[in-house]
Amino acid sequence: MSKTPTVLSEETGILVIGLGLIGGSLLAALRDAGYAGRCFGVDLNPKEVALGRRMGLIDDGGADPAAFLPHVSLIVLAVPVMAIAPVMAQLSQRRRHGQVVTDVGSTKSAIRDQIRAALGRVPSWLVLGHPIAGAEKSGVEAANPALYQRHRVILTPEADTDVQALKRVERLWRVCGAHIEQLTVERHDEVLARTSHLPHLLAFSLVDTLARQDDRLDIFRYAAGGFRDFTRIAGSDPVMWRDIYLANREAVLEALSEFEAGVSELRTAVAGGDGDAMLGIFSRASHARHYFDRLLSQKSYQVMETRNVVYRAGAGGQVRGNIRVPGDKSMSHRSIMLGALAEGVTTVEGFLEGEDSLATLQAFREMGVAIEGPQAGRVVIHGVGLHGLKQPGGALYLGNSGTSMRLFAGLMAGQTFDVTLTGDESLNRRPMGRVADPLRLMGAVIDTGEGGRPPLTVRGGQRLAGIDYDLPMASAQVKSCLLLAGMYATGDTRVREPAPTRDHTERMLTAFGYPVARHEDVAHIAGGGRLTGGFIDVPADISSAAFFLVAASITPGADLTLQHVGINPTRVGVINILREMGADIELLNERKVSGEPVADVRVRYAELHGIDIPVDQVPLAIDEFPVLFIAAANASGTTRLRDALELRVKESDRIKAMADGLDILGVVNTVVEDGIDIVGGRYHGGEVESLGDHRIAMAFTVAALRAEGDITIRDCANVATSFPNFPALAREVGMQLEVVSEDA
């Protein structure tokens, strides 16, 4: 943290009442940040005050706050939660105009209620807060200036809290390196009861239970690291925790009841030898723990909005080698969905361990499906049958995955329980009327957010009926949604496409023993069937391969082979279009796996020329157009795209977003309502925005191969949704790519 004497310059002095770990660490952080004002400390223990002086944390201190109030503008209450109200009553009598007070208590309802009882209201100059940080050590001697860095501080202001007071408290914690969030008092106490108070309660109980055993010495002597890790927090201050449980009693009891129900469920599974039930509980817990690790380190899975990842792509480079890109995302999604709803066990190889696919996997875990892995692309799913899903405990969070959202809408329409589907900020901006409207025609009851956007709440227990539906726009996701809902409907469901789209759903349903008929442009499914588990081999994703297909096509001297790529006829538009532009692409070792055609794809540099992209190829390459725009920028002449309105409603408006980036690089282009014209030629470097769209981020990385300067691409965290090892593979073939993570 940079030291500057100007931080918190509006504060003439700061008083911390309570010189323990939390208060002492706050003072240490301020000193470390270069705070130039005077610091005062109050504590009933004179030894703590004396030690605070010797450590240089305070300029002066004592036992009575009144002596220091004339010299400060900000007061921090770091006393036990049960003592805050009496201190506040004393301060309210002597507080000077403009002074702001905040606290660090870990329960807010009790503090607020006590203050209201003592003062009649919560003063507007009081900002209730709670830093989510601590240690088992106590006292000012344990003060740590880094305690709050990259930790959250939750503020719980009232409706009439003074805005300027709130801003001053926010600045205080930001100077200490903390991230600020706001919650209501009630929500704060609910969350902390489950994530902090309950774990401490369990640790205290376990250690106390074992300590009272006759053989306790052997128990502790041979305890492994797991026991030490779990029980470490039982060394915390007993008096402090007694006060916390008294103050937050109702929320803690509710959390304890939930835990007891979970233990009872696990006890039943162990007693009955129910391996699938145990696996389901353990796998959900294991995955949730990994998620917690990612959240603590601020990695991106399911918290993508909190991270800012920047790509710096160096101009030039080469493209040579032999690589395999990750598994097909579309098939990875569908293998989990159908495997979970099948009867029996399904083994998946080549599963894409990207964030979109992991979101789908986790959602089914939350609905009671036991899933092993993923481990090096291998997933084992213990199916529960079409009617075996259980209601999740809360909303299903689907991250950035539009595929998950749209396909889940169809599956959830046939369940007996209500479920809410939500996602990250980007997904929650995307329109869902295209699936909600036809599902409603089938009898589904779906509530959407403003403008037909997520979150979607799908009401259970509805009787679905098959329909004949003409898609207004070619979309594999909408088609798949209706076919999946059709499994739960009475009668037949027929979906007519205006143009061919990817048929992974139809192929995989058939592989799971649920036939889907195809008559020209109509896909047809009958309700009332069943799925049977089996083996799925997921080929490499041609959408991911597309970035390297274009990279090799535009880079002089390139010679690259991509292994085991899926070449489904409904997905090879990118190859067809590149060949039409003059690309040198060869399919080797063509074969079939799990009903899907696969090949090794060799691509070498070739001079590309502009074309009018055939309209019949547009739906076959809809996801690959961002990188195809880069191919067009490196082709002689003009490339014209039309009839591509679908690109306007992807993760971003991909036509506009790509055009904006091309403008920055100096690529001549003209945007029309349903497409774009791109004039190939030389272009320079620059800084472009991906708008959180993974395909745009990767496309501009490829553009750097022929740019006359480096290209910086911002907001690239979402690349992990589809291609988690893209930077490593890009560097492996010779591209110059640096990944920089920045705090949001």
DSSP 532-584: B--EEEPPBPHHHHHHHHHHHHHSTT-EEEEEEEE--TTTTHHHHHHHHTT-E
Cα distances from 14 to residues 37, 55, 77, 144, 423, in angstroms, run 7, 17, 11, 18, 42
pLDDT, greater one: 281 or 66: 66
pLDDT in tens, 538-572: 999 999 999 999 999 999 999 999 999 999 998 89
What span, in angstroms and rounded, lies between the C-alpha atoms of 419 and 458? 5
pLDDT in tens, 21-33: 999 999 999 999 9
Please tell me the predicted confidence (pLDDT) of residue 211.
73
pLDDT in tens, 525-547: 999 999 999 999 999 999 999 99
Helix/strand/coil for 220: helix
Q: Rg for the chain (alpha carbons), in Å?
A: 30
pTM beyond 0.85, yes or no: no
pLDDT of 652 over the 80 cut:
no
pLDDT band for 276, please (50, 70, 90 cuts). Answer: confident
Handedness of CA 452, 458, 461, 466 (dihedral sign): positive
Residue 723: φ, ψ to 5°: -150, 70
Binding-site residues for phosphoenolpyruvate sit at 329, 402, 430, 477, 654, 695
Please tell me the predicted confidence (pLDDT) of residue 373.
85
Most confident of 88-92, 134-138, 330-334: 330-334
pLDDT of 178 over the 70 cut:
yes
Please tell me the predicted confidence (pLDDT) of residue 283.
78
Active site residue 623: yes
Query: Which residues contact residue 263 at a Cβ distance below 8 angstroms, ignoring those fewer than 6 apart?
Result: none
Length of the chain, in residues:
744
pLDDT of 296 over the 50 cut:
no
pLDDT of 306 over the 60 cut:
no
Please tell me the predicted confidence (pLDDT) of residue 572.
93
Please tell me the predicted confidence (pLDDT) of residue 6.
42
**Domains along the chain?**
13-183 (3.40.50.720), 191-273 (1.10.3660.10), 329-537 (3.65.10.10), 540-741 (3.65.10.10)
The answer to whether the CB of 231 falls within 8 A of the CB of 206 is yes
Binding-site residues for 3-phosphoshikimate sit at 329-330, 334, 475, 477, 623, 650
Query: What is the pLDDT averaged over residues 76-94?
Result: 88
What span, in angstroms and rounded, lies between the C-alpha atoms of 657 and 680? 18
User: Looking at 623, 643, 663, 693, which residue is catalytic?
Assistant: 623
Please tell me the predicted confidence (pLDDT) of residue 285.
79
Task: Residue 26: name the closest of 173, 220, 129, 215 by CA.
Answer: 173
